[in-house]
Structure 1
Amino acid sequence: MLVGEILNKIITKEITINELAKMYSVTDQTIQRKIKKLGYEWDKKKSTYKYIGKSTQPLDTDFSTLFRKKQTSHYKHGQVKNKDKKKASYSNNTSDILDVLLIRTKAPPKRVYQGFYFDKDVLSIINSVPKNYKSELINEALRKVFKEKGLL
């Protein structure tokens, strides 16, 4: 998608920064930083991006070119020896340790963000717990119920 298309979709709320971040496998902040680097600034009052750059607007720039492409290598994910994928082995002599380190060998996160609607009485209990422990509370409560029902 072109920069102009993406900015229009953000303004018209057809796409969110979060959705873009997932699409390009980056964080929300990275998307915002890239847009700012292109010379755009978010105008809160008008809910639109205004161009403050010095050169011509990069509306016809392909947005995907702003991100580093994943390195391709002779390394195969099947060659990972341990579960947490911190150490990787490789067999091809043309690869060196830098090739392996440049490839994302980080394990996928154990947790995934998911939003739900809660009834007020349930939410009041969840909110009574410190912020850092809310996910643990919900996970443990659901895990207990699922185990009792034989689902886990």
Structure 2
Amino acid sequence: MKINIIAVGKLKEKYLKEAVNEYSKRLSKFCQLDIVEVSDEKAPDKLSKLEEEKVKKREGQRIIKKIKDGSLVIVLDIKGEKLDSEGFANKLNSFFISGKSNITFIIGGSLGLDDEVLNLADFRFSLSDLTFPHQLARVILLEQIFRAFKILANETYHK
């Protein structure tokens, strides 16, 4: 199984990098993991709607170039489906059972994802009703993917 994560922006904080490295190491037992960072657009705090759309469009074009052919695409979207950990594990398993062994998760930048990227999604997934910084969302996603593999392998993992 291959899990790809395409994320807008670079991790800057040491503690986030360490967490990503730790979960990457843990996941190596279950899958091949590839994390690709695409550059984010510099954007001032106050943007018009049109300027926001332009930023998302440019970031979206970078994301689309990194999606591998034949990959099942899951976007992180606050409006997406919310699942508990068992439900997320079952959803991933249903993709694997259907023959989709190459899954790409997409994490947008601080403004979210362009509609063109959202429309490519095979599944829209919401981590929570809460809003997280996109850098932290990467760590949470990796933890949940790891937890899903542990659940599917019937291995214990703290609750």
Highest RCO, 1 vs 2 (Cα 8 Å, sep ≥ 6): 2
Larger radius of gyration: 1
Using the size of structure 1 for normalisation, the TM-score is 0.22
Using the size of structure 2 for normalisation, the TM-score is 0.21
Name the one with the larger strand percent.
2
